[in-house]
């Protein structure tokens, strides 16, 4: 989907997609590979409106199956800060994910400090197709 959003060819972007844009060890390793070995100059953390897994977490009653619980566990702090409001929780989780990447990845942190990597959070509006920066 990122290629569609940004009107580029398949393979032009190095993307890592996860439900709820949460990052685990494998996701961080993949990001670090792109940053360190491919020289990625921009790390875009992109969420979208009407995110199903954030919506599920906002209304979750504690009954989930399989590994979905691990995703909801990662989303819960943002959902709580947002007062279970889905739109606010999406934005909170974008900010949280950016903080976590910077805190947990020396590779990313170093490249940002050196000015060789820019990190941006943004929201893709499914309703309009627009991408808006999130501070």
Query: Which pLDDT tens digit goes with each residue over 59-109?
Result: 866 567 889 989 999 999 999 999 999 999 999 999 999 999 999 999 999
Is pLDDT of 116 > 90? yes
Average pLDDT over residues 47-52: 96
What average pLDDT does the chain have? Answer: 94
pLDDT given at position 72 = 92
Nearest C-alpha neighbor of 55 from the set 20, 107, 100: 20
pLDDT given at position 61 = 66
Q: Which domains, ranges and CATH numbers included, belong to the chain? A: 2-134 (3.40.1050.10)
pLDDT given at position 42 = 98
With both helix axes pointing from N to C terminus, report the angle between 25-36 and 106-113 in degrees, rounded to the nearest 10.
Answer: 40
């Amino acid at each position: 989907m990122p290629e569609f959003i940004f009107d580029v060819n398949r393979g032009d972007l190095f993307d890592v997609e996860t439900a709820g844009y949460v990052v685990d060890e494998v996701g961080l390793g993949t990001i670090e590979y792109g940053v360190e070995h491919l020289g990625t100059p921009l790390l875009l953390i992109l969420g979208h409106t009407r995110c199903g897994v954030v919506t599920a977490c906002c209304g979750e009653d504690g009954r989930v199956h399989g590994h979905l619980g691990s995703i909801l566990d990662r989303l819960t702090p943002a959902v709580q800060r947002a007062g279970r409001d889905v739109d606010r929780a999406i934005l909170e989780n974008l900010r949280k994910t950016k903080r976590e990447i910077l805190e947990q990845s020396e590779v990313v942190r170093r490249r940002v400090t050196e000015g060789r990597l820019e990190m941006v959070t943004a929201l893709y509006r499914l309703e309009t197709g627009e991408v808006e920066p999130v501070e």
